[in-house]
A = this chain, B = another copy of it.
Amino acid sequence: MTAPLLFAMPGNEWLSAELADDLHYELGQLNMRQFPDEETYLRFASSPEARSVAIVCTLAHPNEKFLPLVFTAATARELGASQVGLVSPYLAYMRQDRRFTTGEAVTSRQVAHLISEAFDWMVTVDPHLHRYGALGEIYSIPTRVVHAAPLISQWIRTNITNPVIIGPDSESEQWVAAVAKDAGAPYCVLEKVRHEDRDVRITLKDMNKWKGCTPVLVDDIISSGRTMIEAVRLLTSQGWTSPVCIAVHGLFADNSVVLLVEAGARVVTTNSVRHATNEIDIGRLLAGAIGEVAVVSP
């Protein structure tokens, strides 16, 4: 049997090479460029005919990436791929998960529909499941979710002596508790009130018993990073050791990583979105999930 083919969308080469290596997949060649009018030109330089195909595309800044991604999947099918899967280490549009106000778009469902139409399976890392219990509620294709928590715990154990884990809010408490337990550390969660996208107030309480520990703030996503920035400022103003901020997905909108570092934090992320702060490699876990779902799919 011919090995499956793995294709990297532009910007995903770093992880794709590792995945192909781990999975013993062939790394395919995709030619993609922009015409002067900003339309995308796409050509498969490796034929996907009668091959199982996996396309790697992390979806930070999703709008500009989506159409080329759908072109790639559709073209692979037209060229005879036996199945086409999506490896999206960061899955966008998971936060708009209901109509909070009349007339709003529930974009999480719409993206799920488009991806389910274009692909046969999907693998992602810690999607922002809030009001959904599982991806299966909105995706009609087989999906696998990779959990970065064990890798985060392991990173903390290896790198931080005497940590106290701090979660962003009560909703994340279960996840934070698991990270902390695995890291052999105590934990607490911030209380926060969000006023606007960029305006968040937080409070720290009952933390004095851990004074002397290194505060390790963990969250699934750092976007504008307001909560973490405020927490870091509060902690340093109260004389705590330099905090560590860990996120699964470092999106870093509004230059938030610079603000975090300026506030005195060390920032650590997984390589679900490529960034200088990537210290935790999710490649091996992703490869395992791909191997599972690509086999059971039609």
Give the interface of A toward B (CB within 8 A): 35-45, 47, 60-68, 70-72, 74-75, 78-79, 92-93, 95-96, 101-107, 110-111, 113-114, 117, 197-198, 221, 223-224, 251, 253-254
| Beta-carbon contact of A62 and B67 below 8 Å | yes
Q: Which of B41, B62, B71, B103 contacts A79 (CB 8 A)?
A: B103
Contact partner of A36 (CB less than 8 A), chosen from B67, B96, B107, B197, is B197
CB <8 Å contact, B38 and A107? no
| CB contact between A71 and one of B47, B64, B107 (< 8 Å): that residue | B107
User: Are B78 and A43 in contact, CB atoms less than 8 angstroms apart?
Assistant: no
B92 touches A224 (CB 8 A): no
Q: How many copies does the complex hold?
A: 2
Partner of A68, one of B63, B103, B224: B63
Please state if A45 and B223 are interface contacts (CB–CB under 8 Å): no
In this complex, the member of A60, A197, A198, A221 whose beta carbon has the largest number of chain B beta carbons within 10 angstroms is: A197
Kindly list chain B residues whose C-beta atoms are within 8 Å of the C-beta of A93: 39
Nearest CB of chain B from residue A127's CB, rounded to whole Å: 14
Contacts of A223 in B (CB 8 A): 35-37
Q: State which of B47, B60, B105 has its C-beta within 8 Å of the C-beta of A72.
A: B105
Chain B residues near A224 (CB, 8 Å)? 36-37
State the CA gap A236–B62 with chains docked (Å). 46
Question: Given A37-B92, A63-B63, A72-B105, list of 20 further CB < 8 A pairs?
Answer: A37-B221, A37-B251, A38-B60, A38-B62, A38-B253, A39-B62, A39-B92, A40-B63, A40-B107, A41-B96, A41-B105, A42-B105, A63-B64, A63-B67, A66-B66, A67-B67, A70-B114, A71-B105, A75-B104, A117-B117
* Of listed A37, A45, A47, residue having the most chain B CB within 10 A: A37
Closest-CB distance, A90 to chain B (whole angstroms): 10
List B contacts of A103 (CB < 8 A). 43-45, 47, 75, 79
Would you list the 7 A-B pairs with minimal beta carbon distance, nearest first?
Answer: A36-B253, A44-B103, A36-B224, A42-B105, A75-B105, A37-B223, A43-B104
In angstroms, Cα B37 to Cα A197, docked, is: 10
Q: Please name all residues of chain B whose beta carbon is closer than 8 Å to the beta carbon of A92 when the two chains form the complex.
A: 37, 39
Q: Within 8 Å CB of A104, what residues of B? A: 41-44, 75
Choose among A39, A40, A101, A117 the residue with the greatest number of B CB atoms under 10 Å from its CB. A39
Most buried by B among A60, A79, A102, A105: A105
Q: List 5 A-B contacts (CB under 8 A).
A: A38-B253, A39-B92, A39-B107, A40-B107, A74-B105
